[in-house]
Structure 1
Amino acid sequence: MTVLFALVLGVAVLTAHTWVNATRWLRRPGDRPAGVDEPVAVLLPLRDEADRVGPCLSALLAQRGVADLRIVVLDDGSTDGTAEVVRATVGDDPRVDLRTGVSPPPGWLGKPHACHQLAGQAGAAGVLVFVDADVVLAPDAVAAAVGELRAARATLLSPYPRILVGSVAERLIQPLLQWLWLTFLPLRAMEASARPSLAAAGGQFLVVDRAGYDAAGGHAAVRDRVLEDIELARAVKRAGGRIALADGSRLASCRMYQDWPQLRDGYSKSLWATFGHPAAAAVVVGLLLALYTVPVLLAVVAAVAGAPLVTFVASTGYLLGVLGRVISARATGGRWWPDALAHPVSVVVLGWLTLRSYHLRKRRRLSWRGRPVT
């Protein structure tokens, strides 16, 4: 019972922290942003995105409230006609500049190199907005995000989009993206701290002050990093800049993966980089399993064995974990019913994906978009 009480208390504390982050500390850009007068460059890297770049580009062309907006698109070695889709979508809009990328040189991964090329074509822009092809922005999204960047006096702002889900696998795993940082990361302490290790960011929609980006070394500083978004945030901190997270669910939506194979391979390529050393991964995954799966298992066993007190305490731990998922989902525009009830299953699948990530990396079998990930 002592161990069980400790687990339930731990879940209670973490759920309370999730609530504080979500209701008190999470930045939320305004619905009616003021106009932006400074030059802004939206940078869109593309590699084989013909089937989903259309909505993304149409949303970028519909942006308002930014007087000097430039959209730079990089076709990064696509073989599916991505460039043709871009040309058909943008027509002769003078704000759009379509470029053809070059292959990454030794020592560079594909995404950082594409972003590096894009930043080099941003002209006199004072703010760089990196957007992925699976993101669809609301009409005032860029203006609101730039306004929040300046209001927060930050160098880098990461407004997390609303994550769209379809398949069962997506509903199990994708909500963990926001839940993890809302539960375990003290948001305002992260903003105030100069420690690079205390950082988070999402590369789907990233807003960066140009001068601060250059001072941090830009994407050249993270050329070989799988999680280039988080590493860029750390580089900004090392250069003396500030970073901030925001709820971008009213500004942008994103469906990262369409099915289980895509999701499985996407997480497998990067989870090893999230945790670093395998021992650290084992500790974190073990802690997650203990906090969020052991209580529900004990509740079932105790109910069968006729131990009402253990059943009650363990069930309380399970429900507190579910509550944390509910708070996270409601704070970030996600789906919570009935998906949050399967939170223990989500944690188990995350643990398996982490194990698979290390297994494939050890055998040098990780790849993404046809390029090896080392």
Structure 2
Amino acid sequence: MADWSNLINGIFLGLLLLQVPAAAILLSRLLKGPSRHPPLIPRTPTPDMLGSVSVVVPTLNEAERINPCLAGLSRQSYEVREIAIVDSNSQDGTRELVKAAQQQDPRFQLMTDDPLPPNWVGRPWALHNGFLQTSEQSKWFLGVDADTQPQPGLVASLVQTAETEGYDLVSLSPQFILKYPGESWLQPALLMTLLYRFDSAGVDAQVAERVMANGQCFLCRRSVLATVGGYTSARNSFCDDVTLARNIAASGFKVGFLDGAKVFKVRMYEGARETWQEWGRSLDLKDASPAAQLWCDLWLLFSVQALPLLVLSSYFLLPIPDFLVRAHGYAPLPTPSLLLGLNAFLLAIRFALLFAIAPSYDRSQAKGGWLFWLSPLADPLAVLRIFLSAFRTPTQWRGRSYHQD
């Protein structure tokens, strides 16, 4: 029986060796949270900001969700020179909705991007076309996704923050709108995979490879974007926002990723199934990361997000028979207690983080919104989704088909 005991303790010790350094890395990141930049709040523009921003919105069959975006952009003030909707030949009425908005606000412009060239993904191609066709007199370029709901004062707040803090590029994390039970449970677990791998919004990354960005609201100095060739360096990336932001940071420019929950909302996907399929395909960030970094991130997620629930549930639901560890006077090492203590601590952190991310969710319309508080139970599933995505290149993305080489 001593051999069984040694085997069991060996497994426990192996798990500890796997988890302890990952837990130390996680804690080093979370401890930066109290010093982060405060969330942006709506602001009023100043006269020197007149016509300083060109907004570009890429669209492809967005009729079901673009109206709140158009309305929100129209409520921005005189700092916005133009709002270019770059459409990829939508067939669902998107173009008609934009034309209707144009009748109410002449800043709207409807453009059609050229046919998608080889080695380009649709979204960066549309944004690149928008960059080339909008006014060079604008100091700032702002990319906005069609599923966002900009609040009044968003653009002024972005520009004032960038000017004050000296950012050349700044993007924002949104407030996510939840509506259905499944997504209320799964989506926060998927979001947590980002928080575990990277510093929280409002903490500036010290190296380009750890920069985070969100293309749903992506403000960049036009001169900087021109210097790096627009979106060409991210042309074949399915996470073009992070890829471009890291390339810009690597060129020596200052990049920030801040909390925008008070200035814009987003309704990304309808239900848990679509959240799993669509968002999960880009969360691995493999297009923006070296292979070694991707593997390290997968190890971290597995160790500190997936394992705690699995270890604790396995131990209590499938207890180790006492005779295996105490027969023949064998005294086991204290590794079981250490392992249980570490995983209980990690799970407690995970539940505590729910209060930290709660402002990032609008659950006022959600059915079964209480499932948000049980989202740590979805962590192993969320980590599995990142693993599955990390080794697959998407063949379908936002209504387009892509062929793998």
| TM-score bracket for this pair, using the shorter chain length | 0.7 to 0.9
Query: 1:18 maps to what in 2?
Result: 30
Please name the residue that 1:341 is paired with: 374
Counterpart in 2 of 1:219? Answer: 231
Cα distance, 1:342–1:3 mapped onto 2, change above 3 Å: farther
- State the Cα distance separating 1:50 from its structure 2 match: 0.8
Q: What is the rounded CA distance, in whole Å, between the counterparts of 1:84 and 1:102 in structure 2?
A: 19
Confirm or deny that 1:143 pairs with 2:156: yes
Instruction: Please state how far the C-alpha of 1:101 moved relative to its aligned partner.
Output: 2.0
* Secondary structure, aligned partner of 1:342: helix
Partner of 2:217: 205
The correspondence for 1:184, drawn from 194, 197, 200, is: 197
- 1:294 is aligned to 307
Note the 1:231-250 alignment, pairs <5 A: 231-250=243-262
Query: Given the superposition, is the C-alpha separation of residues 373 and 20 from structure 1 closer, same or farther in structure 2, using an over 3 Å criterion?
Result: farther
Stretch moving more, 143-152 or 234-243: 234-243
What residue number does 1:44 align with?
57
The answer as to 2:399 corresponding to 1:369 is yes
Amino acid aligned to 2:344: S
Pick one of 348, 353, 358 that aligns with 1:324.
353
**How many angstroms apart in 2 are the aligned matches of 1:183 and 1:357?**
16
> Which residue pairs with 2:328 in the alignment?
none
Say whether residues 1:58 and 2:58 are aligned partners. no
Q: What is the rounded CA distance, in whole Å, between the counterparts of 1:188 and 1:48 in structure 2?
A: 30
Contact 2:42 2:151 in 1 (8 A): no
CA distance in 1, matches of 2:402, 2:230: 22
In 2, Cα distance between the equivalents of 1:280 and 1:244? 20
**Structure whose alpha-carbon radius of gyration is higher:** 2
Do the aligned residues in 1 keep the contact of 2:56 with 2:143 (CA within 8 Å)?
A: yes
Give the drift of 1:67: 4.0
| Offset of residue 162 of structure 1 | 0.8
CA distances 1:276-307 after superposition (whole Å, capped 9, x unpaired): 57776555334323323333333334435399
Offset of residue 99 of structure 1: 1.3
The count of corresponding residues between Structure 1 and Structure 2 is 367
SS in 2 for 1:197: helix
- The one-letter code of the counterpart of 2:360 is T
Unaligned runs of 5+ in 2: 1-11, 323-335, 364-368
Q: For the residues of structure 2 that align with 1:215 and 1:93, how far apart are their CA atoms?
A: 31
The answer (yes or no) to whether the contact 1:49–1:80 under 8 Å persists in 2 is yes
Deviation at residue 334 of structure 1 after TM alignment: 6.1
Q: Is the 8 A contact 2:85 2:111 kept in 1?
A: yes
Superposed CA deviations along residues 109-168 of structure 1, whole A, max 9, x for unmatched, are: 211110011112221111111100000011111111111111221111011111122334
Asked if residue 70 in structure 1 is aligned to residue 82 in structure 2, the reply is yes
Report the Cα distance in structure 2 between the residues aligned to 1:54 and 1:373, rounded to whole angstroms. Answer: 32
Please list the CA deviations of residues 308-354 of structure 1 after superposition, one character each: whole Å capped at 9, or x if unmatched.
Answer: 95756543332222223432x13635669552433242342332353
- Contact kept? 1:44, 1:132, Cα under 8 Å: yes
Give the whole-Å Cα distance in 2 for the aligned partners of 1:333 and 1:229: 22
Conserved? CA contact 1:26–1:245, under 8 Å? no
Q: Please report how far the alpha carbon of residue 261 of structure 1 lies from its aligned counterpart in structure 2 after TM superposition.
A: 4.0
CA contact (8 A) 2:141 2:219 kept: yes
Q: 2:265 matched to 1:253?
A: yes
State the alpha-carbon separation in 2 of the partners of residues 196 and 279 from structure 1.
15
Counterpart mapping for 1:76-87 below 5 A: 76-87=88-99
Shift of the 117–301 alpha-carbon distance from structure 1 to 2, 3 Å rule, reads closer
| TM-score, normalization by structure 2 | 0.79
For 1:250, what is the secondary structure of its paired residue?
coil
Structure 1 residues without counterparts, runs of 5 or longer: none
Q: Does 1:160 align with 2:164?
A: no
| Displacement after TM superposition at 1:89 (Å) | 2.9
Does residue 112 of the first structure (1) align with residue 142 of the second (2)? no
Query: Contact 1:74/1:98 (CA < 8 Å) preserved in 2?
Result: yes
Secondary structure at the counterpart of residue 70 of structure 2: helix
Q: How many percent of aligned residue pairs carry the same amino acid?
A: 23
What SS class does the counterpart of residue 210 from structure 2 fall into?
Answer: coil
Supply the RMSD in Å over aligned alpha carbons. 3.2
